[in-house]
Homo-oligomer: A and B are copies of this chain.
Amino acid sequence: MANDELKQTWKVPEPTLRRLPWYLAFVKLLKQRGETSISSTQIAKEINVDASQVAKDLSYVNISGKTRVGYEIDTLIDVLEDFLGFNSTHKAFLFGVGSLGAALLQDTGLGQYGLEIVAGFDIREELSGTSINGIPVYHMSELSTMQKRYGATIGIITVPVDKAQEVTNHIITEGIKALWNFTPFRIRVPEHIVVQNTSLYAHLALMFNRMNSTN
């Protein structure tokens, strides 16, 4: 999320990557309504972003519009979904089957966007052998064995704050390449490991603060 976390310069800027899913959601809606083409001006108007910005964002994606007609909606959806990685399957393990962890295991929507959570892990013995939404939960000590079976590349971190760094260190040694960190703890990782922070609590704090400011 935070720009200041990115030490290297990425090919596609973060704000662009944040906006592309908005465009995708919008053009999918247009498709539902029977539309077949759209211009960047129309996208801009609906999404409330400059038309030049929309064109620039879409220039990162391998698609070209036609003068007057704009983009073909079917193609735009395919190309955006491919570009955003929603058409590929990324196997993930979830660490910490507490309240938030269990909730995420129940969200089948993530699967439609290319994230397949294949197993959950927890240190509580009583959870081992259970399953949530058809996804098996294993004891943390079985990680090595299960990684050989599943070959997951993503680790979803929903452990308590005081375990976040320890779990991070451990799972990286098991070949996890990217961490989706739901804890408010700033985990540290080697340079080649990707971290995506999604702290719902930070978002809550922002919303509460803005609410007070507008009252």
Contact = CB atoms under 8 A, between A and B. Distances in A.
B211 A178 contact: yes
Given A17-B209, A107-B99, A211-B194, A29 B162 contact: yes
A84 interface: yes
B90 A100 contact: no
A85 B204 contact: yes
Given A113-B204, A161-B29, A10 B210 contact: yes
Interface stretch (A70-78, A122-130, A137-145, A180-188): A180-188
Contact of A213 (B10, B210, B212): B10
Assembly of this chain: how many copies? 2
Contact of A206 (B177, B196, B208): B196
Interface in A104-127: 104, 106-110, 113-115
Contacts of A193: 214
A31 to B, nearest CB: 11
A23 B15 CA distance: 25
Given A99-B108, A185-B25, A203 B210 contact: no
